[in-house]
Amino acid sequence: MAQAMKPDGRGHWASLNEFGFTAGMRLLFWIFRIGGRWPFRLILYPVLAWFVLTKPLARRASHAYLARVGVRSDFLGVLRHFASFAENILDRMILWGGLFKGDVKFFGIEAMLELIERGTGALLLSSHVGNAELCRVLSRQRSGLKLTVLVHTRHAPAFNAMMGRIDPRSQLNLLQVTEMTPAMAILLAERIAQGEFVVIAGDRVPVTKVPRVAYASFLGRKAAFPVGPYIMASVLQCPVYLIFALRRGKQYEIHCELLRESVSLPRKDRAPMLEQLAGDYAARLEYHCRRAPLEWFNFFDFWHTPELDNTDASR
């Protein structure tokens, strides 16, 4: 049954101090623009090595995930995982600066292109596999594609402004959301009606006091997934797609997969339907994690399950 999760700082991603401060990002971007990839690495990799050594929770979380996904999970494996994260940060710098020249292969993108041609929007469920900002490549190639990304971070306004200064051509807009209010639902409905695509992560529990979740099997154990995106889709009455943007070796891939043409949540069967939706998302997330195991960047105990109450998330 879908449930409401009681807050627990030990197991919630929002308790982490992530690589998201705009001052640091601007400095790293300046280093990259002046010196290129290697000076950037010379600065970033020692910082990450220090992070691995001094952040036991993130280190243990990486070890646990790598063991579950079936790849090397000792200290060197954890270093490889964080090194992949460093390269991901560098890719973001290149994308922000409009300097990306890599080859991107698209899979299943035809349905999205048809929606763009019709001027119809949709809800896109992303994840922390790879680099979702690769979607900016697609937004530049398709002038009609406008993306609104919902984020749970107090740094969103400053970060959004920084991206605009770095690349004014960007049509990627960050919208800070802590909970879905009626006013926010109306705003998103208007954007989708205007043909925009609203992007929200399906693998991060929201930062509300009692976030509503459903449990689904992921890499061999039950994990909590947010149900908000599916409730939102039922309100917005729009198609729901999954989008995975990742790097495999030197090749970049963007996968677009239809989850539902529309979502209906009748009161009677709401909880099991939310579980089914979360389960379908988790299955595709696991598939792409196994394809690119070092590309999943959730450095916290994803499987930690704090004490739950009996509140039904279908309310």
- How many whole angstroms separate alpha carbon 208 and alpha carbon 226? 11
User: Tokens standing for 302?
Assistant: 């994803």
- How many whole angstroms separate alpha carbon 49 and alpha carbon 47? 5
- How many whole angstroms separate alpha carbon 250 and alpha carbon 92? 15
CA distances from 84 to 81, 102, 128, 155 (A): 5, 17, 13, 23
Residue 100: name the closest of 172, 154, 22 by CA.
Answer: 172
Within its chain, how far is the Cα of 85 from the centroid? 14
Digit-coded pLDDT (tens) for 151-163 = 765 555 565 566 6
Mean pLDDT within 250-271: 92
Q: What is the DSSP secondary structure assignment for residue 108, as one 8-state letter?
A: S
- The answer to whether residues 201 and 296 touch, using CB atoms and an 8 Å cutoff, is no
Range with lowest mean pLDDT among 107-121, 172-186, 193-207, 247-261: 172-186
Digit-coded pLDDT (tens) for 72-91 = 999 999 989 998 988 887 78
- Residue 310: pLDDT band by 50, 70, 90 thresholds? very low
CA distances from 224 to 6, 179, 206, 305 (A): 12, 17, 11, 7
pLDDT score, position 13? 40
pLDDT score, position 20? 43
pLDDT of 120 above 70:
yes
Q: What is the DSSP secondary structure assignment for residue 15, as one 8-state letter?
A: G
pLDDT score, position 152? 65
Mean pLDDT within 306-314: 40
pLDDT of 54 above 70:
yes
Q: What is the DSSP string of 237-256?
A: T--EEEEEEEEETTEEEEEE
pTM: 0.85
